[in-house]
Structures are given as structure tokens and as C-alpha cells.
Chains A and B, each alone.
Chain A
Amino acid sequence: MIKAKDINERTPWQDLTPGGEIYEPGTARAFNTGTWRTNTPVFHEEACKHCMLCVPFCPDSSIPVKDGKRLAFDYMYCKGCGICENVCPFKAITMVSGGVAL
């Protein structure tokens, strides 16, 4: 039985599952939607007051929080919408052009 992780865009039609059915749960983990990003947020930790405003505004799960402090961006989820930059009161987030912050 073929697993989702063994299917990719080079798999021939003979090896795909009938109708695209999937034989296991939780396969979204194998799907990196962060690759869609065309703009990238950059986190300036020194300016951050950990007010946590960016966390609930993020439409996905790109801002992990641990022990009351936000951590670096999880780019696996980030589509680069820029909402976090917009709501940050301390200029601790800036958007740069492109899918990767150089």
C-alpha cells in the first residue's frame, strides 16, 4: 500500500492511488505550504517586547510560542501575508521581498 510520502510529482499514473485516495491520516504534515510564499517576514528579536499581538493575528501557525515568549518564524506555515508586520507596535517584524529572507 503506497504511502503519501512516497508519492510526488514524478510518480507515474500507474503508481498513484485510485482517485487520489489516501490510506493514512495526518498527511498534511508532509505538505509544506510555506513554499507558496513570495514575501517573507523577518523577526528582529531585539525590538520584540513579546506582547503576543502577532500570534493570534497570524492566519496560520507560523509564530510558535514557548514560556510566554514568541520564537523565530516557522516558515513551513508562512505564506508571507504581512499581517504580523502590520500589527506589530514595535517594528520587530519587517517584510522582505522573495520567498526567502537573505
Chain B
Amino acid sequence: MSSCLSGNEAVAYAIKQINPDVMGAFPITPSTEIPEYFADYVASGEVNTEYVTVESEHSSMSVCIAAQAAGARSVSATSSCGLALMYELLYIAASCRLPITLACVNRTLSGPININNDYSDSMGARDTGWIQIYAENNQEAYDNFLMAMPIGESPGIRLPVMTCMDGFITSHAIENIELLETDAVRRFIGDYNPENFLLKKENPLAVGPYDVSAYYMEHKVQEAEAMKAAKARILEVAAEFEKISGRYYGLFEEYRMEDAELALVLIGSSAGTAKAAIDRLREEGVKAGLVKIRVFRPFPGEELARALANTRVVAVMDKSEGFSANGGPLFAETRSALYDLKERPYLIDIVYGLGGRDLKTEDIEKVFSRLADIALTGEIGPIYTHMGQRSKEEIE
């Protein structure tokens, strides 16, 4: 059925359709509306979720961890500093192998304090052991949330899943969206029946015991193997989802990449802007293409290397500054993925869009003209630059 919803409304509606056992609810801009809309469903009796209002995000994730360990399906939503406050618990959730689902509405981190979009929140959590799936638009935000549980809860995976969408750009803008029927959603998600849980009377479970150094490494290897295995499971779930929705999802989306010589790699809503710019450039005969990363954890390194193998110059566009002094996090992953190629394209990193700095189609065109120059001259120039800031020097 067709509807008109903001990204936050779409995720709240997905949660309503799923009817999870527990929600750890705490507000923070721009994810506040998710628990807010969902509170309506709770109040009107449309769901029977235990809606736990807590005093902080540290507690909302703690509630989810305890509930999931007890055998309950639990969800939460947060942004920015809220995710940062969950940091310790994100590791606990993942290492206890509790498949919680978290809607992360991406907002930059303080400071200076700012409520707008970039990925510094979820990129800061990229090594916590959570699966991370990013949405370009409202439809993907809804679809990704529905796919999260069948991925994370799969017995061979058992990892928590963070579905990410761009704060305000996606979370608050209203778009046309195709919703599934609730019955179809329930069938797709299925019941949550973990083999063991805290209060199982046959064998009461102890979760998160102290792990001495003789065991810790083995448990981390288990977690790493689960994350590797998640790649296949994500594709399996996407294939099942396609059957009920008609919408196809991969680890990333390739846009006009068949014969692309110049390409971008980026995440999220900027892909819409990039596609518009690429369409225009294609009319002028520029062989431009885009890879939009959907799944960042596990990172689809081998697949990305294959997708970029025949390009000549690639710009990775990072919407978060990692302060590595060596490029942003998406650049680090992409460059590492390309290392095993026999013939590698030139690769540059452009950090853009921090704290909600706008990205226009003209900006994308400027990036492509820089890529074209590199292809023509073979001179790569500065590898790691920022775009969109006011500057005395113009690096374009």
C-alpha cells in the first residue's frame, strides 16, 4: 500500500507492524519522533510492546540488553550523543550476541553542538560488533528496519543490527513510500525463539560472565566469524524480502557502473544528489558512476573491489571526519579493499557535509571534473581533502 511518510514515521510504523516485546525509549533529536510516534501506538493499544521510558540512552540500551537476554525482541532508536552514551552497551550487546535492533538517525556529534546530519555518530560505533545498514531514503529506512531482525536473529549470526538514516534529510522529509501489509511483515519477521534465554526453566542462562584471557580471544573470534557470515545472511534476507516487496537490495547499489571510468563511493541520501548529477554528466558523455554503500558492517570489501576494478579514478566521499589525518572511515575501508586488485584505480577522499553542510549536484559535478583531470593527467594531487567549507584557498 502506498503512503506518504517521513523516515521517522516509516520506522515507527515498521516497529508497529513488528510489534516487538520491548522498546527502550529515550528522546534525542532527530530520532525523537520514532519513540514519540510509537508511544501513540502503545497508548491506543495497537501494539502490546512493553514501552520502557528511561533516564538516558545508557539505560535504554541496557533495557534492550536485559530484555533480549530474557528472550524478548527489543528495539530502540537514537542519534548522535545518544549513541555515544550507549557506547559501552553497544559492545555488551554485540559480545553477548543479543540481536537487538536499533534505528540510528544519523546526526553529528558535539562539538561544537550541532543537530544536523553526518555519520560521526554511527562511524564512531563502527567497531562495536553491530551490523550497520544505511538508507538512502524513507523507503530504504523502512525496508532496512524490516530486514534487520531476520538478519540479526539468525542462529548463525546473533548480532545486533543498527539501521541508519540521515537525520532530518531522511528522518523528517516526507516521501511517497510503499508499505507492506502487516500480516506479510509478521510472516517475514517470524517469532523470536532463541534457543536459550535467562528464565528458561530447564537450563537457566547466565549471560556476560567474566572472561579471563584464556577465553576472551576465542569469544572475539566467534564474533568476528559471525560478522563475516552476516554478509551472506544479509543477501539471503534481501532475496526473501524481494519476494514480498518486489524491491531488490544488495550489499551496495551500483548506479551506472557498467562502463564507468570515473566513480564515487558514498553512503546515504547523498546518493540521490549524486545520481542526478551523474545523469546530467552522462548526457555530456562522461562515463560517471556511483557505488552507494548500503552495508558498512560487515564491509563488502571483495565485492566493492570487483565493482571498482574497471574504473580509472574513484572519489570516496566521507560524511564524517575520522581525525585519522589520513582520510575518513569510508576511505580507509575502500582503499584497503582495493589493495588486492592487480590494477587499481586512482583513489581520493573528499570529506563533505559535516554538521548538515549541504551537498548540491554542482558539488558532485566538481568532484567528477577533478576525477576527469586526474584521469587525463595522471596527476592525483592531494589525496585527502575537505569540500564545502569556506577557505582562502580554493581546492576544487
Contacts and interface: CB of A to CB of B under 8 A. Distances in A.
B214 interface: yes
A22 to B, nearest CB: 4
A9 B218 CA distance: 10
Contact of B207 (A11, A21, A24): A21
A7 to B, nearest CB: 8
B389 interface: no
Nearest to A3: B203
Interface string B244-282: 000000000000000000000000000000000000000
A22 B205 contact: yes
A68 interface: no
A23 B105 CA distance: 36
Interface string B209-239: 1010011011101110000000000000000
B206 interface: yes
Contacts of B294: none
Bin chain B's interface residue count: 20 to 34
Contacts of A23: 196, 203, 205
Q: Is the interface of A mostly helix, strand, loop or mixed?
A: loop
B229 to A, nearest CB: 12
Nearest to B216: A20
Contacts of B205: 21-23
Contacts of A16: 215, 218-219, 222
Contact of B158 (A1, A13, A18, A27): A18
A101 B97 CA distance: 44
B218 A12 contact: yes
12 contacts: A11-B218, A16-B215, A16-B219, A16-B222, A19-B222, A20-B208, A20-B219, A21-B96, A21-B206, A22-B205, A22-B209, A23-B205
Nearest to B222: A13
A25 B204 contact: yes
Contact of B219 (A19, A25, A27): A19
A19 B95 contact: yes
Interface residues of A, number: 15
B226 to A, nearest CB: 8
A39 B162 CA distance: 50
A23 B158 CA distance: 17
Nearest to B212: A9
A24 B208 contact: no
Contacts, number: 50
Interface string A16-53: 10111111110100000000000000000000000000
Give the interface centre of A11, A18, A19, A23 by most chain B CB atoms within 10 Å: A19
A1 B200 CA distance: 14
Nearest to A10: B214
Contacts of B223: 19
A33 B218 CA distance: 22
B211 A21 contact: no
Contacts of B219: 13, 16, 19-20
A46 B79 CA distance: 70
A55 B221 CA distance: 44
Nearest to B92: A19
Give the interface centre of B96, B207, B222, B223 by most chain A CB atoms within 10 Å: B222
Interface string B95-115: 111000000000000000000
Contact of A1 (B203, B204, B206, B222): B203
B206 A18 contact: no
A20 B211 contact: yes
B96 A19 contact: yes
B218 A18 contact: no
A71 to B, nearest CB: 31
Nearest to B94: A19
A16 B218 CA distance: 8
Nearest to B210: A20
Contacts of B209: 20-22
Contacts of B221: 13
A27 B214 CA distance: 17
Nearest to B218: A13
A25 B95 CA distance: 21
B171 to A, nearest CB: 32
Contact of A19 (B203, B204, B207, B217): B207
A70 to B, nearest CB: 31
Given A16-B222, A19-B95, A19-B96, A24 B211 contact: no
